Structure 1
Amino acid sequence: MQVNRADAYKILTEYTKSDSLIKHALSVEQAMKKYAEKFGEDAEKWGVTGLLHDFDYEKYPTLEEHPYKGVEILRGIGYPEDILEAIMGHGTSTGVARVTPMAKTLFAVDELCGFLLACAYVRPDKSIANVEVKSVKKKLKDKAFARAVNREDITLGMEEMGVDADEHIAFVISALAEISDELGV
């Protein structure tokens, strides 16, 4: 199967109606594309992986269903196994090891993207481009801020990727700033 963004976006919007979940998918897609470019990988494939990682979450939000149902749907359509494996590994509950750079990167950017959007939303100017790394790190220590974001996953993701925290946070902020209009930040 030839992976392309247009088809992936149709799948996303068929299953996901929540504006915040669509923005999350777009943010993860963007971070994945930028890392793929940095690593010399297939940016469209990595982007599609980010775009679809949570497409089933709105309909199947339990740990018993997500991302299993989504992967089952994508497998039925003919999506490549490396994309499916990355999606299965984007959460720790599945027990699927993240062995490929794509899978490690998806895990490392997923929770961070959500956290960075939350950081932008509370800024007076609501601008992702003006979010500072030191502010993000301070907010990560505040368990009451964006409490649904799993800080341990953010830390583990950076460790698995082998990236410096400051550089990773700055890289993802920069990536998201490129599509700030789409994200509303």
Structure 2
Amino acid sequence: MTSMEPLELLKKYVRDEKLIKHCIATAAVMKSLARELGEDEEKWWTIGILHDIDYEQTQGDMEKHGLVGGEILLKEGVEEEIAEVVKRHNHMLFGDYEKPVEIALQAADSVSGLVIACALVKGGKITEVTPKTVKKKFKEKSFAAGCDRDRIRMIEKLGMPLEKLYEVAIRGLTEVKDELGLS
């Protein structure tokens, strides 16, 4: 990593508070998944924080998103492994995910939004969200429609059932509830 903390680096390139919160949420789920899977929590958290570092710069152009992010991170001195995962996370350009960190990022990117949407239905109380709640809402395609269910299901490639992912995601998001404006 550079001399700059990952969140500081993100804020150097991202101004939109909603996008920053999305990155914090994704990072929290990544860290929780790393803990569950015996992976490097700090590295996975960093990847989650930085995964959308180029989103404002590319203005959501999915032909460039991720590619530009990887370049930014290399320019900023971030280790190549992290930059490569960020570069490849755009599932519209890539998709041949085999590495656990890449699979986890796909799932975390989408499940974080689904779990937060469940919390918002409960008055912003993440502490009232259960895996059962998320499982029910997962089946409702119109609920949190932007959360890609197929990307969430990718976690099963790592031998993790969906309900376990929901539990791990809730635990991770609870750890950053204040930063996300949840209770």
Superposed CA offset, 1:114-152 (max 9, x none): 11111111213x111211222212212222211111111
| Other-structure match for 1:30 | 28
Q: Note the alpha carbon deviations across 1:145-164, whole angstroms, 9 max, x for none.
A: 11111111111x22222211
Taking only aligned residues, the RMSD between alpha carbons, in angstroms, comes to 1.9
CA contact (8 A) 1:89 1:107 kept: no
What is the TM-score normalised by the length of structure 1?
Answer: 0.88
Match of 2:11 in 1: 13
Runs of 5+ consecutive residues of structure 1 not aligned to the other structure: none
- Amino acid of the structure 2 residue aligned with 1:25: C
**What are the within-5 Å matches in structure 2 for residues 3-152 of structure 1?**
3=1, 6-60=4-58, 61-95=60-94, 97-124=96-123, 126-152=124-150
Taking CA–CA contacts closer than 8 Å with sequence separation of 6 or more, which of the two structures ends up with the larger relative contact order?
2
Q: Is the Cα–Cα contact under 8 Å of residues 86 and 103 in structure 1 kept in the other structure?
A: yes
Corresponding residue pairs, total: 181
Distance change (3 Å), C-alpha of 1:31 and 1:159: same
The whole-number CA distance in structure 2 between the counterparts of 1:79 and 1:174 is 28
CA contact (8 A) 2:67 2:88 kept: no
Percentage of matched positions with identical amino acids = 35
Structure 2, unpaired ranges of 5+: none
8 A contact 2:131–2:167 mirrored in 1: yes
Q: In the alignment, which residue of structure 1 is the partner of 2:169?
A: 172
Alpha-carbon contact 1:15-1:56 (below 8 Å) kept: yes
